[in-house]
């Protein structure tokens, strides 16, 4: 099964309040294993970057000034996403900004039924724990040393590893990937009648010749243990 793990960076918290997406990162999974295919882009938001947002992701007005508009590469992004389920942490936030940008380009919105939100998954599996991406990386031993600031592609790559752990661990993903390559593994005995699983045991009694040779062998043993008198109990 193909899935896309997605993360965005924005100018703020509210697309309806005028905030815009400035970065998107996507990581392709197939049967919970990263394929190596990614999509990553920065966008010129056509507005100034608030200092608070820049402190989070480090994307300045100067850096974004020569980047394309979302509409310039919208079709390329949609071609990568296809109709695949989309995984995100606090997914309604990312879906809200993605659909806002699509609406500004007069494109169809991404259906919310495609959304897989890892935040409620983490809350259900780890009640009472911290559920930020940093905290989940620490809990599952995911190396986040490269995450100096928030970055859409880096965060999507980290979330992909966390998502695998939240939904069963690496071994499940590896098993599914092997199945995808080799085809479903069938149990050879699944259609064999139960009666045929056993067979008539072969005889194990010694022949007369074997008994005679064993007797001759015993005559050559000196002071065998079984010939000693057994002490009274």
CATH code, 70: 3.30.420.10
214 shares its domain with 158: no
pLDDT at 188 over 90: no
209 shares its domain with 138: no
Q: What does the alpha-carbon distance between residue 82 and residue 86 come to, in Å, rounded to a whole number?
A: 10
pLDDT for the residue 184: 40
170 shares its domain with 201: no
169 vs 102, residue with greater confidence = 102
Q: What does the alpha-carbon distance between residue 151 and residue 183 come to, in Å, rounded to a whole number?
A: 37
% residues pLDDT > 70 (the chain): 79
199 shares its domain with 166: no
**Entry pTM:** 0.73
226 within some domain: no
The Cα angle at residue 85 between residues 82 and 86, in degrees rounded to 5: 95
* Neighbour-count burial of 133, counting CB atoms closer than 10 A to its CB (0-12 exposed, 13-18 middle, 19+ buried): buried
What phi and psi values does residue 74 have, to the nearest 5 degrees? -60, -45
Q: Out of 115-119, 175-179, 188-192, pick the least confident.
A: 188-192
Which residues form the domain of 214?
A: 190-220
The token pair at 95 is 């879906």
136 shares its domain with 204: no
Q: How far apart are the first and last CA of the chain?
A: 72
Q: What is the mean pLDDT of residues 185-202?
A: 40
pLDDT for the residue 186: 34
195 shares its domain with 131: no
81 shares its domain with 14: yes
Examine the residue annotation and report whether 57 is marked as an active-site residue of this protein.
no
pLDDT at 11 over 80: yes
- Conformational region of residue 141, where left means phi above 0, alpha means psi within -120 to 50, and beta covers everything else: left
101 shares its domain with 206: no
158 within some domain: yes
Decide which of 163, 182, 201 is a domain's last residue.
Answer: 182
Q: What's the number of domains the chain is made of?
A: 2
State the catalytic residue, choosing from 131, 150, 204, 214: 150
Name the CA dihedral angle for 53, 57, 58, 62, rounded to a multiple of 10 degrees.
-70
pLDDT for the residue 209: 76
Question: What contacts 24+ positions apart, CB below 8 Å, involve 220-223?
Answer: none
pLDDT for the residue 8: 98
What is the radius of gyration, based on Cα positions, of the chain? 32
228 within some domain: no
pLDDT at 4 over 70: yes
156 shares its domain with 202: no
7 within some domain: yes
229 within some domain: no
pLDDT at 177 over 50: no
The Cα angle at residue 120 between residues 174 and 51, in degrees rounded to 5: 105
In the Cβ-directed half-sphere of 212, how many Cα atoms lie within 13 Å?
Answer: 3
Q: What does the alpha-carbon distance between residue 70 and residue 176 come to, in Å, rounded to a whole number?
A: 35
Model confidence at 222, pLDDT cuts 50, 70, 90, reads confident
Q: What is the pLDDT of residues 119-169, one digit of tens each?
A: 999 999 999 999 999 999 999 999 999 888 899 999 999 999 999 999 988
Q: What is the pLDDT of residues 48-100, one digit of tens each?
A: 999 999 999 999 999 999 999 999 999 999 999 999 999 999 999 999 999 99
pLDDT for the residue 217: 74
156 shares its domain with 205: no
pLDDT at 205 over 70: no
94 shares its domain with 195: no
Q: Residue 64 in contact with residue 45, Cβ under 8 Å?
A: yes
The token pair at 188 is 């050879």
150 within some domain: yes
Q: What is the pLDDT of residues 20-34, one digit of tens each?
A: 999 999 999 999 999
232 within some domain: no
Q: Residue 19 in contact with residue 12, Cβ under 8 Å?
A: yes
225 within some domain: no
22 shares its domain with 41: yes
Q: What does the alpha-carbon distance between residue 25 and residue 2 come to, in Å, rounded to a whole number?
A: 16
């Amino acid at each position: 099964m193909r899935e896309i793990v997605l993360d965005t960076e924005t100018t703020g918290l509210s697309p309806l309040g005028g905030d815009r997406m400035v970065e998107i990162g996507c990581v392709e999974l197939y049967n919970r294993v990263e394929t190596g295919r990614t999509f990553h882009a920065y966008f010129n938001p056509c507005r100034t970057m608030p200092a608070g947002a820049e402190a989070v992701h480090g994307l300045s007005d100067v850096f974004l000034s020569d980047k394309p508009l979302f509409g310039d590469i919208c079709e390329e992004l949609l071609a990568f996403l296809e109709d695949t389920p989309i995984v995100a942490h606090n997914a309604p936030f990312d879906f809200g900004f993605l659909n806002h940008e699509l609406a500004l380009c007069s494109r169809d919105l991404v259906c919310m039924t495609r959304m897989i939100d890892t935040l409620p998954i983490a809350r259900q599996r780890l009640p009472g724990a911290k559920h930020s991406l940093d905290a989940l990386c620490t809990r599952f031993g995911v190396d986040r040393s490269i995450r100096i600031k928030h970055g859409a592609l880096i965060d999507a790559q980290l979330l992909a590893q966390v998502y695998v752990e939240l939904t069963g661990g690496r071994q499940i993903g590896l098993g599914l990937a092997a199945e995808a390559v080799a085809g479903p593994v069938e149990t050879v005995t699944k259609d064999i009648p139960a009666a045929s699983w056993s067979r008539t045991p072969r005889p194990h009694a010694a022949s007369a010749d074997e008994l005679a040779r064993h007797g001759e062998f015993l005559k050559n043993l000196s002071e065998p243990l079984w010939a000693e008198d057994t002490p009274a109990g």
